[in-house]
Amino acid sequence: MNTESISLNNRKRKYDLFIRQLQPTSDSNILDVGFSNEEWLSGDNYLEKHYPYPYHITALGVCAFDLFQKRYPQVTAVRYDGKIFPFPDNCFEIGWSNAVLEHVGEEKAQVLFLKELHRTCRKVYLTTPNRYFPFELHTRIPLLHWLPKKIFDKILSHTTKRWATGDYMYLLSERRIKTLLKKAGIEHYRIYRNRFIGFTMDFSIIFQK
């Protein structure tokens, strides 16, 4: 099984958990934070590909959405500056964000991101990779990401993976996720561990008002 197949199977498991736990209906309005305009993998924009009511999805992101909108014309796409979501409180029944939290910046930006999800959505489902999974899912390099970020970035800067340095990602452990949730004022949540060959590959976090 290649890495793309593993990733696709993992996304299906996460989507199935989302459906089971949040139980969206044909009337549920959903906010998807962090869509991809260009699709590099078959699992990109998984929600839009598989959710049966795409006309109830609003996709929020920092990038252009011309290609995304052509692929998913029934979905409403909105671009923002990566800070405050351009929606009123409790505007959406459900928030979805797959593997975005690690890309929004350092702690201050991550806390704001969680606060905004909590403010605008009555229930939230988000995922993020486990920093201590042996294989780094973005670069496809084993173990290197266990080093301090400065050293990790320095080594990568001398490779073809230099795009993964700097603010591109800040990987999180379960302990770190709990700290961020506390700082965002989110007290009631559940964390699910998505495992592969016995290791936690990533986390699914669910919280609601």
Note the pTM of the prediction, 2 decimals. 0.95
Residue 1: its pLDDT value, please? Answer: 55
Residue ranges of the alpha helices (H) in 136-196? 149-156, 174-183
In the predicted structure, residue 174 carries a pLDDT above the cut 70: yes
List beta partners, residue 79: 61
Give 146-157 pLDDT, tens digit per residue. 999 999 999 999
Q: pLDDT tens across 22-41, in order? A: 999 999 999 999 999 999 88
Amino acid at 182: K
Residue given tokens 């993998």 in the structure block? 41
| Percent of the chain surpassing pLDDT 70 | 100
- The pLDDT tens digits for 44-73 are 999 999 999 999 999 999 999 999 999 999
Q: Tell me what pLDDT residue 41 has.
A: 84
Residue 164, C-beta contacts closer than 8 angstroms, at least 6 positions apart: 138, 139, 156
118-132 tens-digit pLDDT:
999 999 999 999 999
* Closest C-alpha to 82, from 65, 61, 97: 61
Confidence band for 42, pLDDT divided at 50, 70 and 90: confident
d(CA 152, CA 144): 6
Write the CA distances from 131 to 32, 100, 141, 144, integer angstroms.
23, 14, 13, 11
The stretch 189-195 carries a mean pLDDT of 97
Dihedral over Cα of 138, 47, 54, 86: its sign: negative
